[in-house]
Copies of this chain bind each other. A is one copy, B any other.
Amino acid sequence: MLEINNVTKIYGEGSARVVALDRVSLKVEDGDFIAIMGPSGSGKSTFLNIIGGLDRLTSGEVILDGHRIDNLGENDLVDIRRGKIAYVFQQYHLLPSLTAMENVLLPLIFCGDGGDEQKVETILSRVGLGKRAEHKPSQLSGGEQQRVAIARALVSGPSLILADEPTGNMDQKTGNEILELFKELNQEGRSILMVTHSADIARQAKQIITLQDGRIISKAVQQSV
């Protein structure tokens, strides 16, 4: 469903030049669940940002369901991604003047699904925020904000979910509940690319990819135990 071919991303020039990704290639099939690990600064967020269309690659291609999506204009990119790819950011990017309910409703309104508040209440409960629907981001803990971002990504039923450290700001128990939710979505057939620093979380995915200095240095497929 998704092909990343020989993607390189270079920031800056001269002494400030950073090769954030170095000829990275990966094929993602329908229903894949891939964990991405690697040291701080190894290129994980850059990798997801380029797939999700938030950043432009320097060379290489990204192909989603047969369409090249790395070289599109803004508007086309939104059309092709809409309803297909959803993103949980490392910095949440919640709108500070909107409540949790409104932040999660936003993609539904953009995708023309209307304002289905019942659906939003259900997913807010599933991420443990049933009582926080009316809170704004400044009235939520770090982990709670992260869960609003996750609910927002999931509410429009995307076929590919890009999650950048979705459980980074939570205790183990809440993190495990969120992981269970991702596994259910995966079992429904959605593909998941999840950056995580937690080996516990990574080993529950179907594959683990490790980045270092912008390169993929290992790919491991989980065997049944």
Q: Which one, A37-45, A60-68, A76-84, A101-109, is touching chain B? A: A37-45
Contacts of A147 in B (CB 8 A): 40
The answer for the CA separation of A4 and B160 in the assembled complex, in Å, is 47
Docked-complex contact A141 and B174, CB < 8 angstroms: no
Q: How far is the CB of A175 from chain B (nearest CB, A)?
A: 8
The answer for the CA separation of A132 and B172 in the assembled complex, in Å, is 32
In A19-72, the 8 Å CB interface with B consists of: 37-41, 44-45
| Other-chain residue from B41, B45, B134, B143 in contact with A41 (beta carbon distance below 8 A) | B143
Chain B, residue nearest A170 (CB): B40
Given A16-B134, A134-B16, does the pair A171, B37 have CB atoms closer than 8 Å?
Answer: yes
Task: Say which size band chain A's interface belongs to.
Answer: 20 to 34
Docked-complex contact A90 and B37, CB < 8 angstroms: no
Given A168-B168, A172-B197, does the pair A40, B134 have CB atoms closer than 8 Å?
Answer: no
Given A39-B173, A172-B197, does the pair A165, B142 have CB atoms closer than 8 Å?
Answer: yes
Could you mark each residue 201-217 of chain A with 1 if its beta carbon is under 8 Å from any beta carbon of chain B, else 0? 00000000000000000
| Other-chain residue from B37, B39, B144 in contact with A40 (beta carbon distance below 8 A) | B144
Given A40-B169, A172-B197, A174-B39, does the pair A45, B139 have CB atoms closer than 8 Å?
Answer: no
Residues of chain A at the chain B interface (Cβ within 8 Å): 11-12, 16, 37-41, 44-45, 90-91, 128, 134-135, 139, 141-144, 147, 164-165, 168-175, 197, 199
With A16-B134, A39-B174, A90-B169 given, can you name 10 additional A-B contacts, CB distance below 8 Å?
A37-B171, A38-B171, A40-B141, A40-B143, A40-B170, A168-B168, A168-B169, A170-B197, A172-B199, A175-B197
